[in-house]
Structure 1
Amino acid sequence: MTDEKPDVLVVGSGIAGCAAALGAAREGADVLVATKATKPEDATSDWAQGGIAVTRDDPASFAADIRAASDGEADPESVDTLVANAREAVDDVLLDTLGVEFDGDGDGYDFGREAAHSARRILHVDASTGRHVLRPFLAHLQAHDRVTVLEDTAALDLITHEGRVHGAYLDRGDGIDGEAAVESVFAGATVLATGGIGACYGRSTNPEGATGDGVAMAALAGAETADMQYVQFHPTAYVGSDGESDEPFLVSEAVRGEGGVLVNADGERFMPGVHPDAELAPRDVVARAVARERERTGEVRLDVSKLDFAAEFPDLAALCADRGVDPAEGIPVAPSEHFLCGGVAVDGRGRTSLDRLFAAGECARTGVHGANRLASTSLLEGLVWGLRAGEAATGHEVERVEAPLPRDSDPALPPSFAETKFRRLQTLMDEYVGLERDSADLQRATAALMRLKGEVDAYTRTRTSRGLYELRNACVTALLVARAASESPSAGCHRLVDGEGDTQEEPRARP
C-alpha cells in the first residue's frame, strides 16, 4: 500500500487534468496526477488539431454560436461561465505560464474560423494545436514542487464510503513479474479527467486508451451522469480510398474554415443544398450529410484544390504523404466518433453529486455543449473547468477508510478474452448506437450490452487486470449511452430515424 496521501488526486493528464493539477497546486495543495499515459500522445488533448476558441471582443456572439451549435440544448449559465472565463484562462495559463506560440499573421494572432463560428476567434498552431499546448503543460507540472505525476498508472475504481469519495485504487503497472501492483491511494478530494469514450466504437479520432474510465467509475460509485446520448461524430476523418483505413486521422475543421469543400463520388458539392452555412454548418449536420452521400454515391472527398494546402496545413499534408494521399485529388473522408458531449454531471466548479468527487474535460457534463459541441471548444472547456475544479477540490482532510485491496484469486483470463469482447462491443455500438439510431435497434443494443457486461463482471469480481477493467468501463459507458439514447428524443448529434431516415436537415438559425 502506498504512503502517498495527496490533498488532491487527479486522474488523467490531458488539458483538463493538467489544469486541475495546476489549479489545486496554486492553492497550496499537494497534487498527485495518475495517468495511464506513457507518452503525451496517449492523451486525447495531444491529438487536438484545430485550436482553442477564445473570447475576443465578441462574447455575446461567441455565446450565441455555442447555443446554436448545441441545437438549443446548452445550459445558458454554463455557456456564460465558459465565455466569461475563456480569455483570462488562455492568457494566464497558455500564454503567460506556458508561453505557447500560437500562429500569427504579422500583425498579431492568426485567428482561424471553423464550422458554426460566426467570426474568426480560434487560436492555433498549424493543425496540431493540442501537442503544442499539452506537452509544455506536462513539462511545467513535472517541474512543479507540489505536483507528482505517475505515468503508466490506471485508476481501477474509486474508494467510497457513505457517499463520499476518498481516493482510488491505482494500478501502477510496475509489479513483480509484470503482475499488477494495485494500491489504495487516499486523497482529500479526487478529480476525474479521463477523457473520452472512443474505444467503444470501431472508428474514432480518440487514442486507444479512451475507454470511458471516469464516466464508468463515477457511475458505478453512484454519481449522476447526464446527456450520455450526445456522442458527436466528426464529419471528416480520413478513411482511405477504399473507405477504410488502419491509420485514420482527423482532417481538421479548420480546412473547411479556410475554403475546403466536400464533394461526392460524382464530383458534386452537396453541402449548399443541405444547410445555409454549407461546409460550415454544425458538425452533426455535416456528419449526417457526409454519411448520406457516401451511402448514395460511394465516396466523399474533401476538395482542397483552392488552398495552398501544404503551406497552410503542413502537418496534415505530412499525414497525407505518409499514407500516399495526394491532397490535390481530394482527401477521402467519413464521419468518425469524436467527442462525448455528456458525461459525469458537474456544476460550475466541477463538483459531482458525490462528496469530494470532481470531474472536468470530456468525461464531465458541464452543460456547455448541449446536444452538439461547437468546434474548438473542447480544449477551452477542459482548461476552464479544470482550473475551477482543481481550485474547488482543495481544503479537504485526507480520511482513511476501510478499503481492502482487490486481489487476483483465479487463473489468468482466457486467451484474447478482452480483445474479443472489445470487438463485440464496438460492433454493437457501430451498428446500433452510431450516427443515426432506431428505437428498436437501441433496445437490441441495450439488451446485448447488458449481457456483455454480465460476462465481463463475472471476471472483474476476482481479477484486477487493467485491460479487464478498461473493458468493464467501456461496457458500462456504452450501456449508459444506449440507455440514454433510447429514452431521449432527437436533438443535435442524437438522431432517431426509426426506419424513416432523414432526407433534409432542418437549418438551425443563429439566435
Structure 2
Amino acid sequence: MQERDTDLLVVGSGIAGCAAALAGARAGADVTLATKASQPEDSTSYWAQGGVAVSRGDPEAFKQDIIAASDGLADPEAVDVLVSEADEAVRDVFVDTLDVDFDENGEAPDYGREAAHSEARILHVDASTGKHVLAPFLNHLQDHDRVEVLEDTAALDLVTHEGRVHGAMLERDGELVPCYAGATVLATGGIGACYQRSTNPPTSTGDGIAMAALAGADVEDMEYVQFHPTAFAGEDAADQGTFLLSEAVRGEGALLRNGEGERFMPDYHADAELAPRDVVARAVKDERERTGEVTLDVSPLDFAGEFPDLQAECENRGVDPANGIPVAPAEHFLCGGIDVDTEGRASLDRLFAVGECARTGVHGANRLASTSLLEGLVFGLRAGEAAAGFEAERVEAPELLDSDPDLPESFAAEKFVRLRRVMDEFAGIERTPEDLTRAAGVLRRLKGEIDAYTRTRTSRSLYELRGACVSALLVTRAAAENEQSRGCHHIADEEGAAVDAD
C-alpha cells in the first residue's frame, strides 16, 4: 500500500459503513472504504437475521416501542430521526438502489413481528436478511466511480492534530501507511470478541471505539451490553461456535421450555416470549441454572418452511428442531459507544461514527429487535452526507513500528482467553459492584502488558487485542459508575461468587 489522500475515509463495511460511503459519494466526495473484512461474512451486518423494522406510516407507534424497550432511556430526538426517516431510507437504498426482494404475502410485504414490537412492521428475507442486503450493497460500492474499497485492511490508529482527526493509519499484509482524509467515519461494529459466547463474527474487536477513546473522543453508555436470549447451545457450540435463533421464530409462535419441559416466560413477563430481550435473556439464564437447559420449541410453526436457513443449520449440527433446539444467551449488541449527534459527529473535529460502534441514543438501556440495520442505514446516510465536503490535510502521522516477526503467535490468543474469562465471569448478564471492581483490576493489568508490546512492535492481532481490552475496560468502568439497574445493565441482588480470573 501507499500513502493516500481522500475526501472521506470510512472504516468498516457493514450496513452503516456502506451507507456512509454511499451518501458521501452521492454528495460528491471521493471515498475510501477500508475494511478488515475479506468477504461479507466477516461483517456483523451479514448475520442480521430478523430484518429491518420500518414505521409503516405510524412513526409515533414505532417510537413508543423503541422507548419502551430502551427502559425509558432512549434519546427522543434521535428516535424521532430514526422513525421519521426509516421508510424513505429503506425504500431509497434497499429497494430502489439495491433491488432487494423482501418477502411478500401475496402482493403485499410480509411484515414480521418480534419481541417488544406492538405490531408487525419488520421487512425480511427469510431469516437471513443481513446477507441479502449487505452483499448487493458491497457490490454496488465496488462498481461506484467515487468509491475505492480496500479489503483486508485494518485501521490501527487515528491520525490527529490539535483535536482534529486527519485520517487513520492503515495496515495490510504487514505494511503500515497513513490515509489522510478530510473526514473520517468509524463504522467498525461491536465488541463481541470480549465474550466467549457471541453472535458477532471474530472481527468484532472494538477497534473503532478504542481508537476514538484513546484519541480523546467522548464515549457513553458502554455498560449497556445486550445479550440475545436464544443462541444455539448444542454440544458442538463450544467448538464450532454458536449461531442465532432469530426472535422472528418466537414472533411466529415458538415457545421457550426449561429442562423440565415447562414453558416459563409467562411467569417472568406479561408479554412472555415477546418480552424485551434483556428480560428474556435473564430468564433463560436463570432457568438453565435451575433446570439444566432451555430449549426453543418450534412445534407450533412450520419451522422448516418459514426458516429454511435455520433448519439447515440445525441439521448441520445434528439437531432435530422437532425435538427442541437448545439455546442460551450470548453477547449480541453494544447499545453504547462513541458519543455522536444526529449526524454522526463525535466530540473530535471531523470524526464521525455510525452503527454499533456509535452511541446515537436510540437504544438507551436495551435495543429493540430489528433496529440495528435501520440505525446503521439511517445514521450512516446522515453521517456520510455531513462528512462530505472536507479536504484532506497532511499532518505528522503516528510512528507505528513495522510488524515484528518475533511476536509470538500465541500471545494475542492467550490474552484473549484471559480477557473473555474476566468479562464472562464479572461483566456479563448480571453484575455486582464487587465483581466489576475485580474485572477492572484484571483488565488494567492486562492492558499494561499489551501496552508494553505496542511500544516496541506492531501487528494487527496485537492492536485488535488492544481494542478489545480498552473496550472491555470502558464497559466495566461505566458499569461500576452506574448504580441503577436498567435494561441490559442488571445489578444482581447478591454478591457474585469470587473467581480467580488471573
Interval of TM-score (by shorter of Structure 1 and Structure 2): over 0.9
| 2:165 aligned with 1:165 | yes
Residue 509 (structure 1) aligns with: none
Q: Structure 2 vs 1, CA of residues 500 and 385 (structure 1 numbering), >3 Å: closer, same or farther?
A: same
Structure 2 residue identity aligned to 1:203: R
Residue 82 (structure 1) aligns with: 82
Contact 1:238 1:245 in 2 (8 A): no
Correspondence 1:111-150 to 2 at 5 A = 111-150=111-150
Residue 455 (structure 1) aligns with: 449
Residue 176 (structure 1) aligns with: none
Residue 383 (structure 1) aligns with: 377
User: Which of the residues 270, 290, 296 maps onto 1:296?
Assistant: 290
CA distance in 2, matches of 1:486, 1:243: 31
Structure 1 residue identity aligned to 2:287: E
Q: Structure 2 vs 1, CA of residues 22 and 275 (structure 1 numbering), >3 Å: closer, same or farther?
A: same
Shift of 1:242: 7.8
Residue 495 (structure 1) aligns with: 490
Contact 1:184 1:405 in 2 (8 A): no
Provide the TM-score with structure 2 as the length reference: 0.97
Q: Structure 2 vs 1, CA of residues 409 and 105 (structure 1 numbering), >3 Å: closer, same or farther?
A: closer
CA distance in 2, matches of 1:498, 1:66: 27
CA distance in 1, matches of 2:296, 2:67: 27
CA distance in 2, matches of 1:325, 1:409: 44
Contact 1:41 1:47 in 2 (8 A): yes
What secondary structure is seen at the aligned counterpart in 2 of 1:228?
A: coil
CA distance in 2, matches of 1:415, 1:87: 47
Residue 186 (structure 1) aligns with: 180
Structure 2 residue identity aligned to 1:423: V
| 2:200 aligned with 1:206 | yes
Q: Structure 2 vs 1, CA of residues 193 and 410 (structure 1 numbering), >3 Å: closer, same or farther?
A: closer
Contact 1:200 1:478 in 2 (8 A): yes
Residue 500 (structure 2) aligns with: none
Contact 1:408 1:462 in 2 (8 A): no
| 2:26 aligned with 1:31 | no
Residue 364 (structure 1) aligns with: 358
Comparing 233-242 and 163-172, the one that deviates more = 233-242
What secondary structure is seen at the aligned counterpart in 2 of 1:2?
A: coil
Correspondence 1:45-444 to 2 at 5 A = 45-173=45-173, 180-241=174-235, 244=238, 246-408=240-402, 412-444=406-438
CA distance in 2, matches of 1:298, 1:474: 31
Q: Deviations over 1:87-108 (max 9, x none)?
A: 0100000000000000000031
Contact 2:199 2:231 in 1 (8 A): yes
Provide the TM-score with structure 1 as the length reference: 0.95
What secondary structure is seen at the aligned counterpart in 2 of 1:413?
A: coil
Shift of 1:325: 0.6
What secondary structure is seen at the aligned counterpart in 2 of 1:117?
A: coil
Contact 1:112 1:120 in 2 (8 A): yes
Shift of 1:415: 4.3
Residue 480 (structure 2) aligns with: 486
CA distance in 1, matches of 2:3, 2:293: 57
Shift of 1:365: 0.2
CA distance in 2, matches of 1:185, 1:133: 28
Contact 2:337 2:358 in 1 (8 A): yes
CA distance in 2, matches of 1:136, 1:153: 20
Q: Deviations over 1:276-300 (max 9, x none)?
A: 0000000000000000000000000
CA distance in 2, matches of 1:409, 1:194: 22
Shift of 1:241: 4.6
Contact 2:224 2:366 in 1 (8 A): yes
CA distance in 2, matches of 1:171, 1:340: 26
Shift of 1:410: 6.2
Q: Structure 2 vs 1, CA of residues 146 and 357 (structure 1 numbering), >3 Å: closer, same or farther?
A: same
Percent identity between matched residues is 72
CA distance in 2, matches of 1:115, 1:245: 29
| 2:41 aligned with 1:41 | yes
Residue 504 (structure 1) aligns with: none
Residue 499 (structure 2) aligns with: none
What secondary structure is seen at the aligned counterpart in 2 of 1:262?
A: strand
Q: Structure 2 vs 1, CA of residues 411 and 326 (structure 1 numbering), >3 Å: closer, same or farther?
A: closer
Shift of 1:3: 4.3
Contact 1:437 1:498 in 2 (8 A): no
**Unmatched runs of 5 consecutive residues or more in structure 1:** 174-179, 502-511
CA distance in 2, matches of 1:439, 1:498: 10
Shift of 1:452: 0.2
